[in-house]
Structure 1
Amino acid sequence: MTVSFNGKKPSRRAVLKGALAAGGAVAGATMARAAGPDLLITQTQPWAQGLGEGVDATPYGLPIRFESDVVRRNVEWLTADTISSINFTPIHALDGTITPQGCAFERHHSGAIELRKEDYRLMINGLVDTPLVFTYEDLERFPRVNRVHFCECAANTGMEWAGAQLNGAQFTHGMIHNMEYSGVPLGTLLKEAGVQTEGKWVYVEGADASSNGRSIPLEKAMEDVLVAFKANGEALRKEHGYPVRLVVPGWEGNMWVKWLRRVEVTDGPVESREETSKYTDTLADGTSRKWTWVMDAKSVVTSPSPQSPITHGHGPLVITGLAWSGHGKITRVDVTVDGGKTWQQARLAADPQDKAVTRFYLDHVWQGEEMLLQSRAMDETGYVQPTKDALRDVRGENSIYHNNCIQTWWVKSDGEAENVEIS
């Protein structure tokens, strides 16, 4: 949607001036209720009349209490017990691309364990010349790298296959985080052990009770998999696998084994173990897709959305959201306010990074009309994010995994938003 005056697209300053003029009656009424000038500007306020807290009041900095609603949330009925459950990143309340660790979603198979760095060991065995065991200190001595990548649960948006279910970007798309990881390339450690020619896969497992064993092709392991011990510059959080986890860029989150304890080089996938059948995508005819590791291009408008309604009234509105692809970089995001009848190219906030989240913005003028908001991502392979109907035509509704459909928010005339489907 564009607004034009005399056939020309106005500048943002003109739009702001027009919006203020159009809203003059409302603004005037508000000032009349205030009975004079805005005292928050004209009078010295309590917070400027005394001293604040000292620098050691909170040794580890926490968000100010006015932002106390920006938290991870779970869905109580989703699983029988939180030790094998998930919570969701508050993507509706964040901006930029980096997810604070304290807001990044969790997924556990047997609960988050406490493992001291001093007690940490990582074994590399199997089809290698020299089986090795590394301590945490050993890992710190290897040349390290820093990379920004997204981690998305394969079940993200999974409950939406059968229809609009959960009312919020946090609950529909919040099984994702995007962080800067620091660590040692797994390929470096494998070369240290000496991979034998028969080696074609690696089997990785964690130190928790579930072990969450997964098989990864050796090619991927050598290409860009990271043995990480820092995230966003600090130690991993307990719930994210402290002290060491695996980072598998672009691939579903269940491969990102936490509390990594062993990497076994094998000549094939470990078919006898649960990991080969746990994450499969059942199709409409009852057959299942296996080895669907890569997360396809996806996006979502985070604001306006059900948990982030429009509250400032008519006028300029910044529509924003996130896009990502496990195949590489996002190259373009389009946004529609009319349910796909017309599309506008959004502005990418920064140069997209490989297998990382990209922030997009669309500057819009909202005059109280209802909107059907959607975003559509494209990546460097040429892949275009599909609609729900297009996905269902191929995949049916039997799976909960790999739903990268276009999301629709119905923004109402009062600024509230709701999760809906349109055909």
Structure 2
Amino acid sequence: MTETKDKPSRRSFLKKSAAAGGFTLLAGAGVGEAMAAGDDNLPPNVPEWMKSLGPGVTANPYGSPSPFEKNVVRRNVGWLTATEESSINFTPIHELDGIITPSGLCFERHHGGVPEIDPEQHRLMIHGLVDRPLIFNMDDLMRFPSLSRIHFLECPANGGMEWKGAQMAGVQFSHGMVHCCEWTGVKLSTLLAEVGVQKAAKWLLAEGADAAAMTRSIPLDKAMDDIIVAYSQNGERIRPENGYPLRLLVPGWEGNVNVKWLRRIKVGDQPWHHREETSKYTDLMPDGKARQFTFVQEANSVITSPCPEKPMKFGKGFYEIRGIAWSGYGKIKKVDISIDGGMNWKTAELQAPVFSKSLTRFRLPLQWDGRPMLLQSRAADDSGYVQPTIEALRKARGLNSIYHKNSIHTWRVLPTGEVQNVQVA
């Protein structure tokens, strides 16, 4: 197996693909050869969809994907939790391009199901160690100066089922608890300035309006930095499953602190424990102690093509290795690719734009000779953090946690082109 030094020309690529059965080339081929394909919609015939009018402009007022993309959906794993109301589904990251995740494909994590909230009756209360406790309605919030930012959001349990070994059969299930959207709203610091935060304040308690009344403690320093109280996602109002009509967006931090259906923020002088904070996320260490408030989602990456759902089905020849990388510390600076399990590395191309705390696309051309491969990606961010091996991560954190598993991931490519999930130390 050899990597290409120069990108192959389009002509040579098409010839090789045609030889492998991937394309029918009409250049130099007769009409009879094309007809032999057995499909009346192929050139030089006029396809059936050109012979009649289609639905009009009001037939589908909101719009929906093509029926031929019906398999591009969120999926869940039935045995993960007892009920769907307190469960998770996964983004089909192997089917997506670019850095924006369509709103209807963003993974969901619920603790009490999705509430149906009338925005006219929804309120955000800010109280505690403030000079002027206030209650805002949605119109109030939309009158404040707004901003839009593109950020990823990731569950800290993303990949967490594989601490002890490869388990999931596809990249949607091994890494699909992540998405990236354009979020629009008002900076939380703007609202805190409106209520007047007192000097003793150090922490916030954010509460959602779901049946679980999900609450999380957040340091005031982060609130004053880049947290957004968001009401729009990808240019439209946030979807119900993603927090309609209001949610916190906490860039780069664990998904659980991005409280959905936001109804209350309490300002205090310390993190909340026991009764008021309903959910604890801690990392159990080898010595029996637990790390708490491990907020940042560290640099991570995964190859999304090829992967178990997208094998190298055309046999030997040209392919483009593609994937995504992200970091809660800032921008992705570099992604390296290995085809031999980490013995040798080559730097991939990062696809513009590259934003801070956002998904970043990477790609690398490969001329595959049909031999087995162990494909890996390794991300580094602009803070200097480098994605660790599974061996290094286990040495530091043990095997007892399900959170913050961001180690280098390995796909085994077989001579058949099939792709398997494996672990290489």
Q: Same fold (TM over 0.5)?
A: yes
1:344 aligns with 2:340: no
CA distance in structure 2 between the partners assigned to 1:287 and 1:262 by the alignment: 32
Unaligned runs of 5+ in 2: none
Task: Note closer, same or farther for the CA distance 1:93–1:291 as it changes in structure 2 (3 Å cut).
Answer: same
> 1:255 Cα deviation (Å)?
0.2
CA distance in structure 2 between the aligned counterparts of 1:21 and 1:249, rounded to whole angstroms = 44
Which residue in 2 is equivalent to 1:170? 172
Whole-angstrom distance in 2 between the partners of 1:221 and 1:25 = 55
Q: Distance in 2 between matches of 1:192 and 1:21?
A: 64
| Other structure's SS at 2:377 match | strand
Say which of 22, 33, 36 aligns to 1:36: 33
Deviation at 1:41, TM superposition (A): 1.4
Higher mean C-alpha displacement, 210-219 vs 157-166: 210-219
* Residue identity matched to 1:258: K
Verify the 8 A CA contact 1:277 1:290 in the aligned structure 2. no
When residues 195 and 308 of structure 1 are mapped into structure 2, their CA distance, relative to the original with a 3 A threshold, is same
Match of 1:152 among 145, 148, 154: 154
Aligned pairs for 1:313-324 (under 5 A) are 313-324=315-326
| Aligned counterparts of 1:401 and 1:127: Cα–Cα separation in 2 | 32
Alignment of 1:391-410 (within 5 A): 391-410=393-412
User: Could you tell me which residue of structure 2 aligns to residue 12 of structure 1?
Assistant: 8
Look up the match of 1:297. 299
CA shift digits 1:174-195 (9 cap, x unpaired): 0011000000000000000000
In the alignment, what sits opposite 2:117? 115
Native 8 Å contact 1:270 1:276 kept in 2: no
How much has 1:232 moved relative to structure 2? 0.1
Q: Which amino acid aligns with 2:108?
A: E
Identical columns (%): 54
Q: Once the two structures are superposed, what CA deviation does each residue of 1:335-393 show, in whole Å capped at 9, x if it has no partner?
A: 11111111111111114211111011111112322211110000011110001111001
Instruction: Indicate the residue corresponding to 1:421 in structure 2.
Output: 423
Q: Number of matched residues?
A: 417
Change in Cα spacing, 1:391 to 1:275, as seen in structure 2 (3 Å) is: farther
Any idea what the Cα deviations from partners look like across 1:392-412, whole Å, max 9, x if unmatched? 011111000000011111111
Change in CA separation of 1:18 and 1:331 when aligned onto 2, cut-off 3 Å: closer
Contact preservation (8 Å) 2:185, 2:231: yes
Given candidates 205, 209, 212, the residue that maps to 2:211 is 209
Q: Is the 8 A contact 1:164 1:419 kept in 2?
A: yes
Contact 1:300/1:375 (8 A) holds in 2? yes
- Determine if the alignment matches structure 1 residue 223 to structure 2 residue 225: yes
CA contact (8 A) 2:124 2:137 kept: yes
Alpha-carbon shift at residue 2 of structure 1 (Å):
4.4
Once the two structures are superposed, residues 72-119 of structure 1 have per-residue CA deviations (whole angstroms, 9 ceiling, x without a partner) of: 000000000000000000001111110001000000001110001101
- Post-superposition Cα deviations, 1:287-335, rounded to whole Å, max 9, x if no partner, equal 1111100000000001100111123333221111110000011100011
The one-letter amino acid of 2:56's match is G
| TM superposition score normalised by structure 1 | 0.94
276 and 389 in structure 1: CA distance in 2 versus 1, 3 angstrom threshold: farther
Instruction: Tell me which amino acid in the other structure corresponds to 2:34.
Output: P
Alignment map for 1:324-403 (pairs within 5 Å): 324-403=326-405
The AA in structure 2 aligned to 1:218 is: L
Distance of 1:409 and 1:151 partners within structure 2? 24
Structure 2: how far apart are the matches of 1:358 and 1:75? 27
Q: 2:48 aligns with which of 40, 46, 49?
A: 46
In the TM superposition, what whole-angstrom CA distance separates every residue of 1:1-20 from its partner, at most 9, and x where no partner exists?
A: 6457xxxx455118x52773
SS class of match (1:172): helix
Q: Which amino acid counterpart does residue 328 of structure 1 have in structure 2?
A: G
Deviating more after overlay: 348-357 vs 152-161: 348-357
Aligned CA distance change for structure 1 residues 379 and 62 (closer, same or farther; 3 Å): same
| In structure 2, distance between residues paired with 1:398 and 1:411 | 30
The alignment's TM-score, normalised by the length of structure 2, stands at 0.94
Conservation of the 8 A alpha-carbon contact between 1:19 and 1:314: no
Q: Amino acid of the residue matched to residue 387 of structure 1?
A: T
Shift of 1:211: 1.4
Query: How big is the shift at 1:26?
Result: 5.7
The 1:393/1:295 distance shift into structure 2, 3 A limit, reads: same
Q: Cα gap change, 1:47/1:201 in structure 2, threshold over 3 Å: closer, same or farther?
A: same
Which of 61, 76, 79 pairs up with 1:77?
A: 79
Of 125, 129, 139, the match for 1:137: 139
Unmatched 5+ stretches in structure 1: none
SS of aligned partner of 1:36: helix
Q: 1:28 to 1:290 in 2, by over 3 A?
A: closer
Question: Match for residue 61 of structure 1?
Answer: 63
Residues 246 and 318 (structure 1 numbering): CA distance in 2 closer, same or farther, change over 3 Å?
Answer: same
